[in-house]
Structure 1
Amino acid sequence: MRSARILLAAVTSVAVVSLSACGIGGSGDSGSQSTANDGPVTGDVTGTISFETWNLKAKYSDYFTGLIKQFEQQHPGAKVNWLDQPADGYADKLSADASADSLPDVINLSPDFAYPLYKKKLLLDLDKAAPDAAKDYLPNAWQGNVMPGQKDNYAFPWYLNTGPYFYNKKLFTDGGLDPNKPPTTYDELAQQGLTLAKNTNGAFAMLGQTPQIEDLGLYGVDLMDPAGTKFTFNSAKGVKLVELYKSMYDAKALLPEALSATYTGSGKKFLAQQVAISSGSAYDLQTFRTDAPSLYANVGITAPMTNTGHANMYVQGLSVAAHSKNKATAIAFGRFVTNAQNQMAFAKIVTVFPSTAGTLNDPFFTQDDGTDIGRVRVASAKQLANGINYTPVQLSDQMKTVLRNELANAMLGKSTPQQALDNAVNQCNQLLGH
């Protein structure tokens, strides 16, 4: 199933570009600072720091302006300069700053954006610099910012998200399925998909997307070796998942046009009631209400399919530049922005979820208020308590394209599922330098 990055990007249409392809430079040690990761950072919270976000100023200026003002009032000797970059070109801007050794003090990064900066030793190891911080956050959110093969974290967890799945109860009924029992595992998805296809003779499909890397993780496939140095998703379990999708494709339970390079995505096909199940967000539910009332009347909400018992979790964080001249202030501000009170306030104006320990137990996340956003919020919050960020931070956009193309070959019978995954793994490992 499609598991697109459903973060604040769903609100701001953030373009996701892999930094690993941007030629990030930087010496990793300018010589102007003491060793960046040698222990706890101490000192007065004073001096000027820069704080960079990603396409947030247009809609959330009041929130961040107030947040900065409050921090500066609590620390009279500190000043925060807020920098907000547009979605387009954010990766290039980070790359240029990294090459010039001029990264902002506090930087809004997702784990895949943090990875190439971490490799160049441009980010502060927060497990060492702020050893008392981890307890304030959900363990899985803290772990989501731990780099491959490491035990240490390179970002304070900020907001989280996860995608519920929508299904069309009428199409389930028309396909001979129980509208009150949507699939909970990929094996159930395939079984129900084949039943639906048999009963409808291709009038509509069960789903409209070939598997992505998250699906392999949700199925229980080991995506990389323990050290995070090589991709390993061409295992027997990975092959089994591709075989399930192949069986659905052959039976027309998987929309054939999903293999097209110009495909518009399963979300639009779900809106057009051409597929019976698709991932989405609260904003999709609002769209169904206004643009497809007949669909909205029959929409069910369910947790994502998973064979591991853990939903997919999307993570954003705040990293601290290793060469910040005011590390104590940068750390204090990063923790301030991501504390429980401020994350809760942010979650109430944006459809995201806090990463702080215990906050998801608040009634705001456990009690349905009857609204569309409320329905999805409660359903999603349940998934985040033990969610996992399955997507390897090493996976570039080029590698995603490789996987998509090889899986299309498997669906079309141009290669076996094993050959397709072998080809994808080999090409991805070559791109990693192996």
Structure 2
Amino acid sequence: MKYNMKCTPWRLVATLFMTLLCLTSTTAYAADDVTVSGQVLDSRNEPLIGVSVFVDGTSQGTATNLDGRFDIRVKASSTITFKYIGFRPLSIKASELTANAKVQMTEDATKLDDVVVVGYSTRKKETLTGAVTNINNKEILTTTHSSLAQSIEGKMPGLQIRQNSGEPGDFNTMINIRGFGTPLYVIDGIPQDLGGDDFQRLNPQDIESISIIKDASAAVYGLKAANGVVIVTTKKGSQGRAKFNYNMTFGWQKPTDMPRMANRSEYAQMRNEANLNAGNAPYYTREELDREMAGETTDWYGLTMRNYSTQQQHNLSASGGTDKYTYFLSLGYVNDNGLLKSGDLNYDKYTFRTNLSAQLTKNFSTEVKISGRYDTKNSPSSGFHNIFYGTRTALPNAEAYANGNPDYLGYQRFLNPLALADADISGYTQIKNQKLNSSYNRPR
């Protein structure tokens, strides 16, 4: 069998063109993507296992194996970053890495020299083997809140915090370590008997660091530490001239979303439909329905609640000292207002702290620490829950005020939120706390 193939000039040119195009595309692809491989070493030329190797600006990455080797295909123009705990991050252009490149990382001494409070002593991170997490003052103050627990939420691995209420002066936040029960709180070496209450009321500006112990390292505190330990270390003075610091924070907060309640017209129509669906006569006659649909709606939530609440914090501190003594002094004030338009839901807190250290002789030193807190929570006696519940259940066709006169409340079949929110009508609850702590370390 014979095949007769004719090759015309234009077909030959087209074939050559397509072949050249394919070769060009293959060459371009090969020039754009490169395979980078090598070994990551420390300053002693020992391989580093598990180093994160990733391409900047992408989710592409890998990790070094048991021999410290890596292999990754990247764009020739990309930048590769190497990260490893205790070492400084290193970024290198892919074009600068040859085949089987040697990448040497340097230790980050500042990370390894960080001091962590463990039990009744301190240790450096480089010698730490227990499950301990630490956070310093700078990281705590990235967020502000009247409760310290809310300021550290989501910042410490293993520490679970759930806010049960956003009511001003309500410190019943649930705190646990790794899902266990209430941990033991130790503030400046003194175990606290009131659980997380004192911890949550601390002034964040006074705190130097917070450590949480999550394993058997907490055994030094005995049976109470079975659920872990939260250790708080407050600030101390340092040698040098007196330093004064003033911080002021003002903010506002509002509900993220609030369901819209039915207006007067919608309520009347749905009330009739409910009766009809139950096989009964309409609740409203035609004339009454027309009147309800044309009537004015009473917005119980809008009359009772503000759109947002305000919060302010003030803190003044002084620190300094000489080679013989050091001091740290602090005064703080917090004001947290609620959402009630009556202004009867609020919280005020005053704090002070004095930390003094003295070098009595060459071989003896002592410390004196005094701190105090005075706070007040005011609220209507009915409680915020009942007030809010009243804004959900009060009928939209009921008058808020008798004959439109704000001096007299209108009749309401269910809970009247305006009456409940006014402490002069429903009564009030006032909770005051006064606490003074002092500690003295004998010369040592």
TM-score (ref. length: structure 1) = 0.19
Q: Which has the larger radius of gyration?
A: 2
More strand by share: 2
Higher relative contact order (CA 8 A, sep 6+): 1
TM-score (ref. length: structure 2) = 0.19
More helix by share: 1
